[in-house]
Structure 1
């Protein structure tokens, strides 16, 4: 960001997740610290029985369909529906209505990993209905329609780092003067392709995600969407009360391995984010870790926290809601904003005695952080995708 670039603020958030529909259900679910996991149905002969996943509850799914059917159409896929629902809640939270002058030329940026993979699954099953809608770009168009924007709308696919990458793109757009407002959404819906892929990697199983625990073993795939409204400082209205300033949204790709993260690449992304924010690591008060519950991911991320962020309170929401794939960064970003609002850090669903590293990991119950100022949100993905966002409390 240049010296003359405008500050960028988060004025609204929305989410639909395995905790239910809406930010209050999400926050209550995180603070309750109970895993929201269910058993997956086997998708092929030989798939392990009892593997766990986390899905949007049926009442929340039906509420999202009912709330968005007029705007996105009855034939829309679930990724579009989740995205539209989260975006609608976010703009309402920002005190805006669809088509508001602040939204009419807004940038719409969607991050997703699987996009509309269910269209391909329907075609492979012999159902060609809706095949013309197979385009992840269609999610961006649907969100733009919901918020009433005729401005730029595009989709970023950077595996599980997708939403943080979308936040980076949107922040750049606002900082460059392309627009004054952006709506950023991360979304992914249940995908057989995704489940089969993780099963073939032996990354899912009958034990749920247990981030940073000594006996961690499996990822727990999940679904949902989260959204944030970003506005420049000059576009803020007197009756708006931002959650936070987005002071960094840094992305990198180390491209060293198809699935395994590269320690130096992950460290470099941390340094880049801090540099963009103009901060030392000691300034970070809270970190929403990527925390997938896999052996290597948690070890790399956890060691960075121990070495460089020893005072930061660390938490990992995937132990509660699972891994929302391309929407994982959205789950963390929304939670980061709610932490700044409530000055609380939800716990990681592991016992303190189980934690492998000497982490300042929040466990047991939500932790009060009355003086919280900076919250960091990590998201990393296959293919060496790294993306970190940092949010500052509005004084």
Structure 2
């Protein structure tokens, strides 16, 4: 039987601010903090909306990270290190804690140190001034910050990256590599991404509206979410975990550079259920990928309507924006908070707008007293699909149905 793996600590930085609490408060209020971007080239349309980490939150994060990172700050490293330090503190640990010395560190990202590379290419800084743009340095910095000398690595799987990182960490803990993992995802604002999305006409002046018949645009965002995972034998006595990580299913249909493939996405759903021995009706809540694009929401929504007719669905990108490689991490943190609080935050659309026949949570948060299993979806360009399933942390809670 596979070793049980529990989530014992959460850390988050997002457009809501620094910390898990403002993130959860904004989700429950369906409060977005989108702002207009300055056009990056002559042909870029004005009024494009995005979500940025507020200056105050950036400064709070910068004060907490290592001196080396403060000396030449790159946003992805600042976000990831801050979220990791917050997560281990939430787990009742401190940097250098014996439980962290051999911890696995795995960080998913889409663009890594895009800001450093863009500063170099634009001539705003030289190579030394940028601090370099090796993505591995993100995981290296997190490991240094928490005091781990265990395996540390970064995965790039576009917007599925964080869930792929969770998959890697889960396998390593179950195989006995370590008892603890510090894992999640990060991404910062990228000029390259903004120009790319603009050329695809995927961003614009209307906010992301997942599963709405009026949906049109993705709203780019930034931030980081990090979790502490521990094996059952390593969980501290008396400290109740947020959730149990049951499985993460990963596939790549390699069908199209940007368009999702319905069969590839459906196959990932089947794999996730099969891997943890659940049926679709066992899933109580789904945190959808829900980008607000026509294609993604149509495919995802059709699968929900056909396979998960009894699951409550929510899509947090309408509130927090699309955190790119950190999107799965934001969904994972929210999934664990939902299990802890038995509460599902709403999607930032009106009930009358919902296009497909799914039970989309809108308006106010929904209480689910007997919440057992939460699914977190993350899909990306290039055919990457990754789905994590979390369960209630205690057997008493999971049997209360």
Q: Which deviates more, 297-306 or 56-65?
A: 56-65
Q: Give yes or no for contact 1:86–1:185 (8 Å, CA) kept in 2.
A: no
Q: Structure 1 residues 227 and 98, CA, compared in 2 at 3 Å: closer, same or farther?
A: same
Of 65, 70, 79, which aligns to 1:73? 70
Distance between the aligned counterparts of 1:376 and 1:187, measured in 2? 20
2:21 maps to 1:24: yes
The aligned residue for residue 55 of structure 2 is 58
Q: Is there any run of 5+ residues in structure 1 with no aligned partner, and where?
A: none
The aligned residue for residue 4 of structure 2 is 7
Distance between the aligned counterparts of 2:235 and 2:48, measured in 1? 47
Give runs of aligned pairs for residues 259-274 of structure 1, distance below 5 A: 259-274=258-273
Scaled by the length of structure 1, what TM-score is found? 0.98
The aligned residue for residue 299 of structure 2 is 300
Per-residue CA distance 1:179-199 (angstroms, 9 max, x = gap): 110000200001101111110
Per-residue CA distance 1:249-298 (angstroms, 9 max, x = gap): 11100000000010000000000000111100000000000000000000
Give runs of aligned pairs for residues 109-124 of structure 1, distance below 5 A: 109-124=106-121
Give runs of aligned pairs for residues 366-385 of structure 1, distance below 5 A: 366-385=365-384
Per-residue CA distance 1:8-62 (angstroms, 9 max, x = gap): 1100011000111100010001011122210011000110110100011111111
Distance between the aligned counterparts of 1:240 and 1:106, measured in 2? 19
2:100 maps to 1:91: no
Distance between the aligned counterparts of 1:95 and 1:58, measured in 2? 28
Give runs of aligned pairs for residues 312-331 of structure 1, distance below 5 A: 312-331=311-330
Q: Post-superposition shift, 1:6?
A: 1.1
Distance between the aligned counterparts of 2:238 and 2:73, measured in 1? 35
Size of the aligned set, in residue pairs, is 392
Q: Post-superposition shift, 1:66?
A: 1.1
Scaled by the length of structure 2, what TM-score is found? 0.96
Q: Give yes or no for contact 2:346–2:366 (8 Å, CA) kept in 1.
A: yes
Q: Give yes or no for contact 2:212–2:354 (8 Å, CA) kept in 1.
A: yes
Instruction: Determine helix, strand or coil for the equivalent of 1:320.
Output: helix
Name the Cα RMSD after superposition: 0.9
Q: Post-superposition shift, 1:237?
A: 1.5
The aligned residue for residue 239 of structure 1 is 238
Distance between the aligned counterparts of 1:19 and 1:316, measured in 2? 16
Q: Post-superposition shift, 1:70?
A: 2.7
Q: Which deviates more, 296-305 or 58-67?
A: 58-67
The aligned residue for residue 363 of structure 1 is 362
Large movers: runs of 4+ above 6 Å: none
Instruction: Determine helix, strand or coil for the equivalent of 1:73.
Output: helix
Q: Give yes or no for contact 1:72–1:145 (8 Å, CA) kept in 2.
A: no
